[in-house]
Amino acid sequence: MSIIRRSDAELALAETARRVLPAGSLGNVDVATVIREGRGGRVWDASGNEYIDFLLGSGPMLVGHAHPEVVAAVQEQLPRGTTFFANNEPAILLAAEIVDAVACAQKVRFVSSGTEADLYAMRLARAFRRRDKILKFEGGYHGMSDYGLMSLWPKQVGNFPQAAPDSAGIPAGVRSEMLVCAFNDLEMAENLIREYHDELAGVIVEPMQRLIPPQPGFLQGLREITREYDIPLIFDEVVTGFRLAYGGAQAYYGVVPDLCSLGKVIGGGFPLAAIAGREDIMAHLDRAAVGDERFMPQIGTLSGNPVAAVAGLATLQILKRPGAYERIFATGQAIRDGLAGSLRDAGFEVAVPGEPPMFDVVFAPGRISNYRDTVGGDAALAKRFNALLRERGIFKSESKLYISLAHDEADISHTVEAFASAARELAA
């Protein structure tokens, strides 16, 4: 059922990429596909092949590619200037919208990437607590900083709470400043926090870790134990912010952290992220409020960029409309059910962890509750299945499907048919 044909022009672009880019890519997904354009819930490659897009730029395009209202907002801003390195109206208004929407957000500071947001959130916790160690959860993704790349995707799992670097070039000393716990294991987390409470600066967690939802009581328990010791609880909401609900995962799951990081959706497809949280912690970004010794500088050339801010504001206004999240969840549930049903009908034992706005298949029986459960899946089978889907016009990463407000009934129908066809070929 292959529909993908590569033109000479796209093959030439891919060859140029191999010549000028490390590994021939931008470091993200399949180097063989060169995307030319996107509209709504679909993208087209340089050969003209059309795909239903479940990558969505790794999540930012929640309302779809080139949404007319987002494009109009950007076009209106461009003649007024593209960056100022100073306060500007769009950034101020976007910060106000975030404060109104996100429960933990009393103050907001903009950066340009989720990696920066997570790095600064951890640094803020250290400045506030005057401690060094951060507790994270194995398999949790907190950007590409040295600290974020500890025990993100360890190929050989070790003993908790020892952290393992997942990249070359990380100083050896970083390992001693990170503690690692199993996600969804509240007893382990409580024991580690009690043992190390006087050394801990903060606890950082994806409230939904990659695609693994929190088990009942897990986030609530983290909130209680961190509050007991006045240890900042940081929710990494770069992915979940404004995706699971307008107020993010903290609204969806009903647990309010002290700090959170935001990204992806709030930039509307442009480079923008933020740290938001309690005023007394965020005060460390204000020299006049805390003095020289406790001041934490944060400077970024494009932080609060007005073009990104107007794109983010337009995106949030679309998401605020009645029925937006109901539609995203209904679309996601239909596609998720089709994915699970097709593979099980073909005889595969699978789990489909996640929530309707984002999920994927793991070729393993049983419930997926932590990183080690995902490692037990058949990665080679998943890779083959993803390749078969690509041949059928389904564009996704190796580990996630993102659902867009722009995906429609035709997209659902095509996708479910592609799942069934790919599952049958996979089983043959």
Residues taking part in catalysis: 141, 236, 264
Identity of residue 215: Q
12 Cβ contact partners less than 8 Å away, ≥ 6 residues apart = none
Q: Which residues, 6+ apart, have CB-to-CB distance to 158 below 8 Å?
A: 164
Query: In terms of DSSP H, where are the helices of 106-246?
Result: 114-129, 186-196, 218-228
Query: CA-to-CA distance for 299 and 369, rounded, in angstroms?
Result: 38
Give SS3 for 396: coil
Backbone angles phi, psi at 347, to 5 degrees: 100, 10
Sheet with 42-45, strands from edge to edge, namely 35-39, 42-45, 50-53, 394-395
Closest CA to 394 of 379, 381, 380, 407: 407
d(CA 76, CA 87): 18
User: Is-contact 1 421, C-beta < 8 A?
Assistant: yes
Q: How far apart are alpha carbons 9 and 3 in whole angstroms?
A: 18
CA 135 to chain centre: 19
CB-count burial class (<10 Å; 0-12, 13-18, 19+) for 60 = buried
Task: State phi, psi for 381 to the nearest 5 degrees.
Answer: -65, -40
Residue with tokens 């890519």: 25
Q: Is 216 exposed, middle or buried (0-12, 13-18, 19+ CB in 10 A)?
A: exposed
Per DSSP, the three-state class of 285 is: helix
Contacts of 34 by beta carbon, 8 Å cutoff, 6+ apart: 10, 13, 14, 17, 45, 46
Q: For tokens 């020289």, name the residue.
A: 292
> How large is the angle between the packed helices 68-77 and 306-319, nearest 10 degrees?
150
